Amino acid sequence: MPKKPKGVLRLIAEKCIGCEVCVGECPFDALHMEAGLPVIDYEECKLCRKCVKACPTDAFYVEGEEEAVEEPQAEAISDTEADLQARLRQYSGVWVFVEQSGDQAHPVSWELLGRGRVLADTLGCSLSAVILGDGIDDLAPEAGYYGADTAYIVDDPVLAGYRPQPYAHGCLNLIRKYKPEIMLIGATTLGRDLAGAIATDLHTGLTADCTGLDIDELTRELRQTRPAFGGNIMATILTREHRPQMATVRPRVMEALPRDESRTVEIIREPLGLSEDEIATKVVGFKPDADLDKPNLTYATVIVTGGRGLGSPAGFELMKELADALGGVVGASRSTVDAGWISHDHQVGQTGTTVRPSLYIACGVSGAIQHRVGMQTSDTIVAINTDPEAPIFQIADYGIIGDLYKVVPELIKVANERNLKELLLGKASEAVS
């Protein structure tokens, strides 16, 4: 038998930390903040107990007992569903976090705006960029050029370098105030750190390393697709009862829109509301990565990848020779990394780097699914393999069935004779043609 609520909602002020989660959860707008504490509007409160369940410090309780009354069960269920839908309807808009460092945006931010534009157009809502930092005004129009309708700016000296606490604080304030239904963040070192902190505080879902993002047109839910079970299946994950729906996406998985300077953006500024002395961590200095030999696979134009078909670590010298002749960098399959032939920095794939070069040459790589998910969106894929049945040929634009030790030296010769390096880097296209 369903229960009819009876009693009065009470707040234990001593327990309240002023996080405002209850205000966001209440489907009836029965709570608002005053002097850092939630105030209950008893006219509006329906005793749905959403705030009681959501409060992280158990600061709410219902005074009085529930009494059993006879009511049709179907009605009770539809009430609960109605509450949920009412709460979800408070959220609207697609947001993309713009990661920046030293006034430069990480390109993944523009890639996410590209996908965000498609999602927002499908939902019929606006696309917004969220930009936090110190002196970051120039990034707002730039976000507009890449597709954003609106830029939320939090500009404060405290945000000069990334620290989780002030960045999460700034994002959480914006999300609680403006209630986006989707929030996308780049799966970079910074983005992974920030996304986890935000999702935890909001008690919402977060799908990491998505390879596909779409809208279910019937339910308006975000379909977040990513490899699961060792990459053997693609799982589509939904965040059914919480908002925003949060996802991270690795660099080069999505495509940025062409930069269009005719596009304009509406700018909304918000204060950070946090001072330096409230932040536990201090930045005492910044040291860039000392390993200058690290390959920049993510944004390379040409990648020459060696697999176990190389037969030995020495085979990577041939890969380097071809990569140099084409102005590219050397990639590797996991088998070669696991065998200790080359460092993990070179690994392409699910547990390595996701790449999207103009030209990807796979030499002696079988094309396992875990490798393919990291390179299959490359513009042109060339595969060299002795086995005509190798799966890599299924996604290759050009397949060469043969021994890489015979084919690659020929490619190096042609590349050098025709100065393909200059052509591919777009520096001497006229001379070559």
Both structure tokens of 57: 């410090």
Taking the least distance from each CB to ligand FAD, the nearer of 87 and 346 is: 346
One of 166, 186, 231, 328 touching ligand FAD (CB under 6 A) = 231
> Could you tell me the smallest distance in angstroms from the CB atom of residue 309 to ligand FAD?
3
Instruction: Indicate whether 335 belongs to the interface with ligand FAD (CB under 6 A).
Output: yes
Q: How far apart are CA 211 and CA 233, in angstroms?
A: 12
Cβ–Cβ under 8 Å, residues 383 and 398: yes
Taking the least distance from each CB to ligand FAD, the nearer of 333 and 376 is: 333
Distance of alpha carbon 319 from the chain centroid? 32
Both structure tokens of 248: 């991270």
Binding window for ligand FAD (CB under 6 A); candidates: 94-102, 284-292, 385-393, 417-425: 385-393
Instruction: Indicate whether 385 belongs to the interface with ligand FAD (CB under 6 A).
Output: yes
Q: Please give the residue whose beta carbon sits closest to ligand FAD in the complex.
A: 349
Instruction: Indicate whether 318 belongs to the interface with ligand FAD (CB under 6 A).
Output: no
Rounded to 10°, the helix 315-325/404-417 angle is: 20
Taking the least distance from each CB to ligand FAD, the nearer of 128 and 305 is: 305
Instruction: Indicate whether 349 belongs to the interface with ligand FAD (CB under 6 A).
Output: yes
Instruction: Indicate whether 366 belongs to the interface with ligand FAD (CB under 6 A).
Output: yes
Q: Which residues contact 370 (CB under 8 A, 6 or more apart)?
A: 227, 230, 231, 334, 349, 350, 351
Taking the least distance from each CB to ligand FAD, the nearer of 245 and 333 is: 333
> Could you tell me the smallest distance in angstroms from the CB atom of residue 400 to ligand FAD?
9
Taking the least distance from each CB to ligand FAD, the nearer of 7 and 230 is: 230
One of 352, 354, 361, 411 touching ligand FAD (CB under 6 A) = 352
One of 252, 334, 346, 356 touching ligand FAD (CB under 6 A) = 334
Taking the least distance from each CB to ligand FAD, the nearer of 143 and 404 is: 404
Number of residues that bind ligand FAD (CB under 6 A): 30
One of 347, 354, 377, 378 touching ligand FAD (CB under 6 A) = 347
> Could you tell me the smallest distance in angstroms from the CB atom of residue 334 to ligand FAD?
3
Q: How far apart are CA 67 and CA 287, in angstroms?
A: 64
Residue for token pair 């309708």:
149
> Could you tell me the smallest distance in angstroms from the CB atom of residue 403 to ligand FAD?
4
Both structure tokens of 425: 């880097």
Taking the least distance from each CB to ligand FAD, the nearer of 198 and 318 is: 318
> Could you tell me the smallest distance in angstroms from the CB atom of residue 191 to ligand FAD?
19
User: Minimal CA–CA distance to 213: which of 224, 203, 197?
Assistant: 224
Instruction: Indicate whether 387 belongs to the interface with ligand FAD (CB under 6 A).
Output: yes
One of 170, 186, 295, 307 touching ligand FAD (CB under 6 A) = 307
Q: Which residues contact 228 (CB under 8 A, 6 or more apart)?
A: 234, 235
Instruction: Indicate whether 386 belongs to the interface with ligand FAD (CB under 6 A).
Output: yes
Binding site for ligand FAD (CB under 6 A): 230-231, 307-309, 333-336, 347-352, 364-366, 368, 370-371, 374, 384-387, 390, 403-405
